[in-house]
Amino acid sequence: MDTLEQPNLTRYAALLPDTGEPGFGVYVHWPFCAAKCPYCDFNSHVRHQPVDQERFTAAFLKEMATVRQLSGPKTVTSVFLGGGTPSLMDPSTVAAILDGIGKHWHMSDGIEITMEANPSSVEAERFRGYRAAGVNRVSLGVQALNDRDLKFLGRLHDVADALKAIKLARDIFPRMSFDLIYARPNQTVEEWERELKEAISYAVDHLSLYQLTIEEGTPFFGLHKAGKLIVPDGDQSALLYEATQEITAREGLPAYEVSNHARPGAESRHNLTYWRYGDYAGIGPGAHGRLTRGSMKIATATERKPESWLDLVERDGHGMLDQEQLGYDEQADELLLMGLRLKEGVDLARWQQLSGRDPDPKREEFLLEHGFIERIGNSRLRCTPSGMLILDSVVADLAC
C-alpha cells in the first residue's frame, strides 16, 4: 500500500474563535447517492437518470427564504453540506447554495463550511471548484482501509481511491476529516489498532469513528436477523471502543464527543452546534432543524422523498411537513441527550432553567458512585469513559 507524507499539523483554516457558545448552523441535505450502502439508513436515494441540479438549486433557495422568515436575522457560524453524496453536486450548485445562505443570513469571514464527499466521486477539478465556492473543510466517507471490508460495506471505492482522495483533500482544503466504521464482523482489536494508527498517519486534524450498527430497514438488518451477519458482541465492542479512545488520545486526537476525535482547536464547529443544543436551519429533503422563536423552540422536518419535496417547495415555498413547538421539558431532555455526548458535558444551569428542577439526587448519586458521570466544578455534568459505553442508559436515568 502506498503511504502518504506526514500532514502539516499547523495548517489550519483561519476560523472564528470557538467561544463555547452553540452558534447558529445551516444544514443543507443533498439526498442523492451513486449507490445505497447496505448499512445506511440515512435519507439517500439512487437515481439512474441525471438529477436536474438547476431545479433543485432553485428549490433550496426558495426553502431558505421561508426558513429565514422563521429564524429571523442570524449570524451563521457554520454550514454543513450533507447527504447523500454532496460531492455529486456540480461546483456551480454548491456556489449557488452558499451564495443563497449569505443572502438570507449574515456569514462572517472565517466560518466553517463543511462538505461531505465520497472517495469514489472525487476529482481534483471538482475539489478545486468546491474550494473556490467557499468550502473550507471536507469530510470523506472512507469507512475502511482494506479492500475486503470496503466491499463488504458496499462502498464504490477501494483503498487506492481513498488515499488519492485524502491527498487531494489535504492539498486543496485547509481542513479535512474522514470517517471510519469499526466493530465489523470478525474484526480483532489488533487489526483495528493497526488500521486506526494508519488512519491517524493520514488525517490532518479530525476523525469520525463509528461502531457498525444494524439499523432496521437496511439490507444488513435482514442478514443479521437471519443469522447471516454476525457483529462483535457487547464485550468485544467495548474492547474496540476502549482501544479507540486510548490510541487517539495517545496520538493527539482525543475524543471530544463519543465518536469524534480532533486535535485541539480542530473540532467540528457545526456538529458542536448540535451537541451544544444550538439553533440550526435544515434545508432540503429530509432535513431537520431547531429554531428558537421567543421563548419557544421549533423543531422542523421536511418531506424525505426528493421529488415530493421538490413539488412541495415549488408549490408552497417549503417542503416542511412538521413545525412542532417543543416545551421546556422536551428541550431539557434534548439538551441532556446531546450534551452528554460531549467531553465538555452539559451546562447544568441551562438544563435547570429549562427543566425547572435539579437532577434527581438519588439517581445522580447512583451514577456518581458507579463512575458513570462526574461533576466539573459546580456548573457542568459529564459522562466518564465508562458512562459513554452506556450513554443511552445514563441519559434515561438523569432525564427521569
Q: What is the pLDDT of residue 309?
A: 98
> In this structure, is the dihedral angle defined by the CA atoms of residues 209, 214, 217 and 220, taken in order, positive or negative?
positive
Q: What is the pLDDT of residue 264?
A: 93
What 8-state DSSP symbol labels residue 131? H
Average model confidence (pLDDT) across the chain: 92
207 — pLDDT class (breaks 50, 70, 90)? very high
Looking at the structure, tell me whether residues 101 and 218 fall in a common domain: yes
Q: In this prediction, what percent of the chain has a pLDDT beyond 70?
A: 96
Looking at the structure, tell me whether residues 264 and 385 fall in a common domain: no
Looking at the structure, tell me whether residues 31 and 142 fall in a common domain: yes
pLDDT digits 0-9 by tens, 64-95: 999 999 999 999 999 999 999 999 999 999 99
Looking at the structure, tell me whether residues 353 and 220 fall in a common domain: no
Looking at the structure, tell me whether residues 388 and 248 fall in a common domain: no
> In this structure, is the dihedral angle defined by the CA atoms of residues 139, 221, 45 and 270, taken in order, positive or negative?
negative
Whether 351 is covered by a domain: the verdict is: yes
10 — pLDDT class (breaks 50, 70, 90)? very low
Which of these three, 248, 274, 300, is where a domain ends? 274
Q: What domain count does the chain have?
A: 2
The DSSP bridge pattern shows strands 75-83 and 106-117 to be parallel
Mean pLDDT calculated for residue range 177-191: 95
Whether 235 is covered by a domain: the verdict is: yes
User: Which tops the pLDDT comparison, 2 or 210?
Assistant: 210
**Where do we find the cell 447527504?**
83
Which of these three, 256, 274, 292, is where a domain ends? 274
Looking at the structure, tell me whether residues 349 and 255 fall in a common domain: no
Whether 172 is covered by a domain: the verdict is: yes
Give the phi and the psi of residue 358 in degrees, each rounded to 5: -90, 160
Q: What is the pLDDT of residue 156?
A: 92
The Cα 221–Cα 235 span in angstroms is 21
Whether 100 is covered by a domain: the verdict is: yes
pLDDT digits 0-9 by tens, 307-344: 999 999 999 999 999 899 999 999 999 999 999 999 99
Q: In this prediction, what percent of the chain has a pLDDT beyond 90?
A: 83
CATH at 187: 3.20.20.70
User: Does residue 284 have a pLDDT over 90?
Assistant: yes
Whether 32 is covered by a domain: the verdict is: yes
The Cα 272–Cα 283 span in angstroms is 19
Looking at the structure, tell me whether residues 222 and 366 fall in a common domain: no
Is 281:29 a contact under the CB 8 Å cutoff?
no
Q: What is the pLDDT of residue 18?
A: 83
Looking at the structure, tell me whether residues 266 and 375 fall in a common domain: no
359 — pLDDT class (breaks 50, 70, 90)? confident
- CA R_g for the chain: 21
Which of these three, 259, 274, 289, is where a domain ends? 274
User: Does residue 5 have a pLDDT over 50?
Assistant: no
Looking at the structure, tell me whether residues 368 and 260 fall in a common domain: no
Whether 323 is covered by a domain: the verdict is: no
Whether 69 is covered by a domain: the verdict is: yes
Looking at the structure, tell me whether residues 231 and 351 fall in a common domain: no
Mean pLDDT calculated for residue range 261-281: 96
> In this structure, is the dihedral angle defined by the CA atoms of residues 215, 219, 225 and 229, taken in order, positive or negative?
negative
Write the CB contacts of 231 (distance below 8 Å, at least 6 apart in sequence): 183, 184, 185, 212, 214, 224, 237
What does the block give as the cell for 390?
452506556
Q: What is the pTM of this model?
A: 0.93
168 — pLDDT class (breaks 50, 70, 90)? very high
Residue 337, classed as helix, strand or coil, is: helix
Looking at the structure, tell me whether residues 79 and 200 fall in a common domain: yes
Q: What is the pLDDT of residue 2?
A: 41
Is 124:167 a contact under the CB 8 Å cutoff?
no
Looking at the structure, tell me whether residues 251 and 374 fall in a common domain: no
Q: Other CB atoms closer than 10 Å to residue 287's CB: what's the count? A: 26
* Domain boundaries, position 358: 344-399
Q: What is the pLDDT of residue 379?
A: 87
Whether 218 is covered by a domain: the verdict is: yes
